[in-house]
Amino acid sequence: MRAVRNAGIATFLFFGTAWAGPATIAAFGDSLTQGFGLAPEDGFVPQLQRWLDMQGASAELINAGVSGDTTAGGLSRIAWTLSDDVDALIVALGANDMLRGIDPGVTRANLDGILSEAGRQDVPVLLIGMEALPNYGPEYEHAFNAIYPELAARHGVLYHPDFLGALAALGDRAAAIEAYMQPDGMHPNRDGVKLIVSDIGPSVLDLLDKID
């Protein structure tokens, strides 16, 4: 654990034995993380918390998702998000950059800054990618999609290829949107989030293993 916590919070000595409380993971993202359009208990973070609990994982999630956030917004708030209580970080940003057609070089630089700050503070990271839509052409799509695996390799962090990958894997895009997305076609519904959590959850267990 990064922080040494006082008795009654996370770590104390009892008859000479150290007891550590659950690891704290900040889920750092945009509306997909925040749970836009869903009941509080149905969002990504609450569903992932329940999934982790069912696996017997000792972890507490913090919802650090901000609806509408870009990687620039994430970079501006990463330093204070990584308080002493945060033991690990899930980074799921970039969807809004892509939807706005922001230069992939800018998105890359912002994510690089976020990962650098986590590294500086010795916080293990799970970086979750996002696949670009074809709207801006193949050159943009290639440049955007390359950001995540390349930065994960550069910073030596865990990597999950696509936040929405579980839905994309269903094959029939129209049927998947109908069954698992909200009416806006951009945000998953409760059942969609459940599939996403089942897909990403094992990578979060790997992240827990990275905590000292």
pLDDT digits (tens, 9 = 90+) for 123-176: 999 999 999 999 999 999 999 999 999 999 999 999 999 999 999 999 888 899
Does residue 196 sit within a domain?
A: yes
Does residue 13 sit within a domain?
A: no
Beta bridge partners of 28: 64, 91
Does residue 16 sit within a domain?
A: no
For residue 45, give the CATH number of its domain. Answer: 3.40.50.1110
Does residue 52 sit within a domain?
A: yes
**How far is Cα 123 from Cα 210, in angstroms, rounded to an integer?**
9
Does residue 152 sit within a domain?
A: yes
**How far is Cα 142 from Cα 75, in angstroms, rounded to an integer?**
23
Does residue 98 sit within a domain?
A: yes
pLDDT digits (tens, 9 = 90+) for 71-122: 999 999 999 999 999 999 999 999 999 999 999 999 999 999 999 999 999 9
Does residue 4 sit within a domain?
A: no
**What is the token pair recorded at 211?**
């905590």
Does residue 179 sit within a domain?
A: yes
**How far is Cα 188 from Cα 192, in angstroms, rounded to an integer?**
5
The pTM score is 0.90
**How far is Cα 117 from Cα 175, in angstroms, rounded to an integer?**
40
Residue range of the domain that includes 159: 24-209
Confidence of residue 12 (pLDDT cuts 50, 70, 90): very low
Number of domains in the chain: 1
Start-to-end C-alpha separation, the chain: 5
Number of other residues whose CB lies within 10 A of the CB of residue 149: 13
Percentage of the residues of the chain whose pLDDT score is greater than 90: 86
**How far is Cα 60 from Cα 157, in angstroms, rounded to an integer?**
20
Q: Quick one: average pLDDT of 51-66?
A: 98
**Beta-carbon contacts of residue 4 (< 8 Å; ≥ 6 apart):** 11
